[in-house]
Structure 1
Amino acid sequence: MASGDPSTRSSTFTGTHIEPIDVDEGKDHPEAPEVFIGGDGDEELGAFSAPPVGDGGKGEQLREVLSERHVNILHDGGPGGAILAYVLTGTIIWSVIASLGEMTALMPVKSPITEFTTRYVDSAVGFAAGWMYWFAYCCVFAAQITASSSLMAFNYDKIIVWKFGADLSPVLWIFIFLIYMTATNLLPVRIYGEYEYFCGCIKMVTITGLILLMVIITNGSSSLPHGEKIGDKYWSGPWAGFFARSISRSAFGHPYTFSGDKGRLLGIWSAMTNAIFSYIGMDIVAATAAENKNQGNSESIKMATRKISLRIILLYFFAIMTASFAVAYDDSHLLADNHGLKSGASSPFMIAIFNAGIPVMPHLLNTFFIFSSSSAGINALYVASRTLHALAVSGRVFGGPIARRLKITKFGVPMVAVFTSASFGLLAFMSTKAKPTKVLQGLISNSSVSMMLVYMVISLAYTFFYRE
């Protein structure tokens, strides 16, 4: 939402009734969000500013596309296990987002995760939830920088190699993506919103095209260089092709392999953990509902929240399902560390396209992966910075001078909060001294666990909300 918008309004709670407060009166109201003036005189009202989510569809963009980092789920869980992981996780996440959307529809506040948990659970829980939410998106931001820089060194069996990417130091690529993602978040909010809408449209169209391409490759086509029909070959056998037969992990420097029922359970659990990371970001739909121009119609906000989440879950479901038919779950290329492969080559989409012999397409697909990762990183930094700004405005940041600086905005952008959150991107430099996949997995695990705790708190808040 652009600062200075005359339609900008805030709200306070009186039971389940919302009393609107005019901006001009807000400064004297004891519960009204403070208004801070940036260096250029722009105003930022409330604790969370976001691109509008209205008829234009902003906020409907996919936060992430199933690239190689997430569809290694296929290797861990097997074809059926991967689908099961996405369905189970998607059901849980959809329920949480629907609950958050219903609360936000009735009480469209800024920073709903912090405010609702504070109001319906406990102020200490709201405090913790807000900071965990911020931390989770900071980790997502660092993970996307790591992924984007790693994707530049594209290498598929030394047959397809991005020499220009591999020759340059990964430190340089990390620095470039860190600057690019941070600079984009310094754009005025309206411009940023249009940029995100454009990126979302590209992602939606591309992943739909990939789903159709996987169907064509699976069924075979004479137009493909290697057009033999795959069919259900990778799903054949009673349970043999449904779940992974075993899963290997290392702990304290020792490798462990689990097979049988224990291996299948661990594979599903591992797949679900990674699937959670793919779904992080759907909460933004509810978080930006306070900026919806139709916020007076609570039903429209509730339905929009549920429909958008359902669309994303269905796209992920069809993407992983079609990919599981096109690529064997035990294909060695699915593991990024095998054969000296770099990120990008381990995507099942990439493997299927390469095996089908489609020229040029691997280069385009890896370019799309880079675009997707960088776009997701930009979005993560946006949420992290606005969350930090919200915590400062609501008095949940200790230190008077620090909190005061975090509240200040310019052109509607909390620049100090952006730079503070962007500092987490420096974690990506750890990948220059270790395998990028290990650093990436660590960041994914941290963000996934943090968001699961936040989702648990949201569900608890909704339970108390529903009782009132």
Structure 2
Amino acid sequence: MSKIGENEQHTLKRSMKSRHIFMISLGGVIGTGLFLSTGYTLNLAGPGGAVLAYLVGALIMYLVMLCLGELSVAMPVTGSFPAYATKFIGPATGFTIGWLYWLTWVVTVGSEFTAAGLLMQRWFPNISVWIWSAIFAVLLFTLNALSVKFFAESEFWVAGFKVIVIILFIGLGGAAMFGLIPMEGHASAPMFSNLLNQGGLFPNGFLPVLFVMISVNFAFSGTELIGVTAGETENPDVSIPRSIRTVVWRTMIFFVGAIIVLAGLIPWKEAGVIESPFVLVFDKIGIPYAADIMNFVILTALLSVGNSGLYASTRMLWALSQEKMISPWLGKLTSNGVPLNALIISMLVSCLSLLSSVIAPDTVYVVLIAISGFAVVAVWMGIVASQFMFRRQFLKEGGRLQDLKYRTPLYPYVPIAAFLLCLTSCIGLYFDPAQRIALYCGVPFVVMCYLIYYLKNKKSAATPPAQ
């Protein structure tokens, strides 16, 4: 089977190396989902439930990435998800997935700007949050507008800093769990008292594990950025499989290792989202200036996620334009190969999300965040469904498995299992009143995208061609 999109991809510069796409993907996944949301998961599901939820989330992420690997190597196109869904499921589904993924990231980028501005208040309480948010917005816009290579290089170093801090946290926290490092308020190792004497591993039962799955999946989102970068990657046949293997296993170790340490060191009743659980741990270990250190770490994490998110949302608009689903104006590139018009629109909408987080934090902003969490899982479902249909069509057209340079193992069980697990995560939203709004807003948004696509194409079909 020929690689789709080759003719229109020549204008993009393949300037990213394996180390770039690896760090871009890690940069997108290691953010507030790890540094803040883990507290919510631990509080709701308990220590055993939190660890189990992250293990299941890691499994789902792994299965999705196995499916994405086959698609990305066979068809390395930028903004790949809508292109795959359009070809193998249907153009309306491709249109919907593209908008879902774009919406996820522009909302995330706006929220990262706001959160970063709030973090700066710790050191500069007299300077408005808006000033810092605007400074960070200009910084990230500039990094994305200069060139693909400049963006990738900056993300490589920022994401690398986060990785070092997480490794340090797991090492120090692990030592504290077993009593090798003293903990404030504990004469011996705190692990056993927190895991066993606070209501057990599952103090609220097993059902809360289902409740938190959408938050856990959202925390793992960003790994799929490897597929978005495929069209701008040097030697994708080699770089993409290598990056997928590296990202999947290291993400699993970082997230599952971190949640095990948190569960062992923090009583689940004390965990929450008001203060990062990582800060609580460093405070209890007694590291000098722990709060300031973690404040800086979380700040860089937010900016790294915003950097990757702005890249992803821009490429999604560019991909939709290439598929002729939106205006060709959004597909124009600069001399450096940057889709500047798409970048400007994504930034402007991100700033609208930023506005909503301050003007109406209990209404618009909450709705957008809920949709973004639902949208990530919906996009993952689109990825695995596309791989299922691709393999079936490939074999039907006489293709040989040995011709695929990267093959999803255990087909069709892997894509089917991934789809069902993602669907279960979405169903779990209904049983948690705090997150149910994701279904009430997300499902109508999907329906609206399909309706817009069909109405748009019906109108185009009814318009006679110009003479």
- Normalised to the residue count of structure 1, the TM-score between the two structures is 0.75
**Would you say the 8 A contact 2:61–2:220 is kept in 1?**
yes
Partners in 2 of 1:34 and 1:55 — Cα distance?
A: 22
Structure with greater helix share of residues: 2
Secondary structure of 1:167's aligned partner: coil
Partners in 2 of 1:218 and 1:105 — Cα distance?
A: 42
Partners in 1 of 2:365 and 2:192 — Cα distance?
A: 32
**Would you say the 8 A contact 1:353–1:362 is kept in 2?**
yes
Residues 1:316 and 2:248 are matched in the alignment: no
| 1:97-176 to 2 correspondences below 5 Å | 97-153=65-121, 162=122, 164-176=123-135
Instruction: Select the residue among 217, 232, 250 that pairs with 1:276.
Output: 217
Shift of 1:50: 7.0
Secondary structure of 1:232's aligned partner: helix
**Would you say the 8 A contact 1:105–1:302 is kept in 2?**
yes
Secondary structure of 1:166's aligned partner: coil
**Would you say the 8 A contact 1:145–1:177 is kept in 2?**
yes
Counterpart of 2:159?
Answer: 200
Residues 1:423 and 2:348 are matched in the alignment: yes
**Would you say the 8 A contact 1:98–1:302 is kept in 2?**
no
Shift of 1:209: 0.5
64-73 or 412-421, larger mean C-alpha shift: 64-73
What is the identity, as a one-letter code, of the residue corresponding to 1:71?
A: G
Shift of 1:184: 2.1
| 1:334-373 to 2 correspondences below 5 Å | 334-336=272-274, 346-373=275-302
Shift of 1:205: 1.0
Q: For each residue in 1:188-220, what CA deviation from the matched residue of structure 2 results, as whole angstroms up to 9, or x when unmatched?
A: 211111111111211111111011121122233
Partners in 1 of 2:203 and 2:364 — Cα distance?
A: 24
Counterpart of 1:61?
Answer: 26
Partners in 1 of 2:281 and 2:23 — Cα distance?
A: 32
Q: Measured at CA, do residues 19 and 133 of structure 1 come closer, stay the same or move farther in structure 2, by a change above 3 Å?
A: closer
Unaligned runs of 5+ in 1: 1-15, 22-31, 36-43, 154-161, 246-260, 337-345
Instruction: Select the residue among 304, 316, 325 that pairs with 2:243.
Output: 304
**Would you say the 8 A contact 2:79–2:227 is kept in 1?**
no
Secondary structure of 1:71's aligned partner: helix
Q: Measured at CA, do residues 133 and 268 of structure 1 come closer, stay the same or move farther in structure 2, by a change above 3 Å?
A: same
The two structures, once aligned, show a CA RMSD in angstroms of: 2.7
**Would you say the 8 A contact 2:104–2:371 is kept in 1?**
yes
Shift of 1:244: 4.3
Partners in 1 of 2:163 and 2:379 — Cα distance?
A: 27
**Would you say the 8 A contact 1:177–1:374 is kept in 2?**
yes
Counterpart of 1:8?
Answer: none
Q: Measured at CA, do residues 379 and 207 of structure 1 come closer, stay the same or move farther in structure 2, by a change above 3 Å?
A: same
Q: For each residue in 1:173-199, what CA deviation from the matched residue of structure 2 results, as whole angstroms up to 9, or x when unmatched?
A: 332322222222222211111111111
Structure with greater strand share of residues: 1
Shift of 1:133: 1.4
Q: Measured at CA, do residues 270 and 373 of structure 1 come closer, stay the same or move farther in structure 2, by a change above 3 Å?
A: farther
Secondary structure of 1:176's aligned partner: helix
What is the identity, as a one-letter code, of the residue corresponding to 1:312?
A: T
**Would you say the 8 A contact 1:52–1:58 is kept in 2?**
no
What is the identity, as a one-letter code, of the residue corresponding to 1:93?
A: M
**Would you say the 8 A contact 2:37–2:219 is kept in 1?**
no
What is the identity, as a one-letter code, of the residue corresponding to 1:465?
A: F
Counterpart of 2:40?
Answer: 72
**Would you say the 8 A contact 2:4–2:77 is kept in 1?**
no
Counterpart of 1:253?
Answer: none
Residues 1:288 and 2:216 are matched in the alignment: no
**Would you say the 8 A contact 2:170–2:258 is kept in 1?**
yes
Identity %: 24
Partners in 2 of 1:20 and 1:179 — Cα distance?
A: 32
Shift of 1:441: 5.4
Secondary structure of 2:63's aligned partner: helix
Shift of 1:286: 2.7
Partners in 2 of 1:244 and 1:422 — Cα distance?
A: 43
Aligned length: 387
Q: Measured at CA, do residues 290 and 413 of structure 1 come closer, stay the same or move farther in structure 2, by a change above 3 Å?
A: closer
Counterpart of 2:63?
Answer: 95
What is the identity, as a one-letter code, of the residue corresponding to 1:61?
A: L
Partners in 2 of 1:223 and 1:327 — Cα distance?
A: 14
Shift of 1:149: 2.0
Instruction: Select the residue among 225, 245, 265 that pairs with 1:326.
Output: 265
Shift of 1:296: 4.3
Partners in 1 of 2:163 and 2:51 — Cα distance?
A: 20
**Would you say the 8 A contact 1:53–1:59 is kept in 2?**
no
Q: For each residue in 1:375-412, what CA deviation from the matched residue of structure 2 results, as whole angstroms up to 9, or x when unmatched?
A: 111110011011111211221104xxxx3254232422
What is the identity, as a one-letter code, of the residue corresponding to 1:429?
A: L
Counterpart of 1:258?
Answer: none
Partners in 2 of 1:203 and 1:362 — Cα distance?
A: 16
Counterpart of 1:413?
Answer: 338
Shift of 1:120: 0.9
Unaligned runs of 5+ in 2: 396-467
Q: For each residue in 1:358-390, what CA deviation from the matched residue of structure 2 results, as whole angstroms up to 9, or x when unmatched?
A: 211221111110111011111100110111112
Partners in 1 of 2:237 and 2:135 — Cα distance?
A: 43
Residues 1:461 and 2:421 are matched in the alignment: no
Q: For each residue in 1:424-447, what CA deviation from the matched residue of structure 2 results, as whole angstroms up to 9, or x when unmatched?
A: 2222223334559x8775444221
Shift of 1:146: 2.4
Residues 1:385 and 2:314 are matched in the alignment: yes
Partners in 2 of 1:211 and 1:286 — Cα distance?
A: 29
Partners in 2 of 1:353 and 1:441 — Cα distance?
A: 30
**Would you say the 8 A contact 1:61–1:197 is kept in 2?**
no
Residues 1:179 and 2:147 are matched in the alignment: no
Shift of 1:106: 2.1
Partners in 2 of 1:244 and 1:105 — Cα distance?
A: 44
Partners in 2 of 1:19 and 1:383 — Cα distance?
A: 20
| 1:251-270 to 2 correspondences below 5 Å | 261=205, 264-265=206-207, 267-270=208-211
Secondary structure of 2:269's aligned partner: coil
Q: For each residue in 1:218-261, what CA deviation from the matched residue of structure 2 results, as whole angstroms up to 9, or x when unmatched?
A: 23346777673313111115x9232243xxxxxxxxxxxxxxx5
Partners in 1 of 2:159 and 2:44 — Cα distance?
A: 29
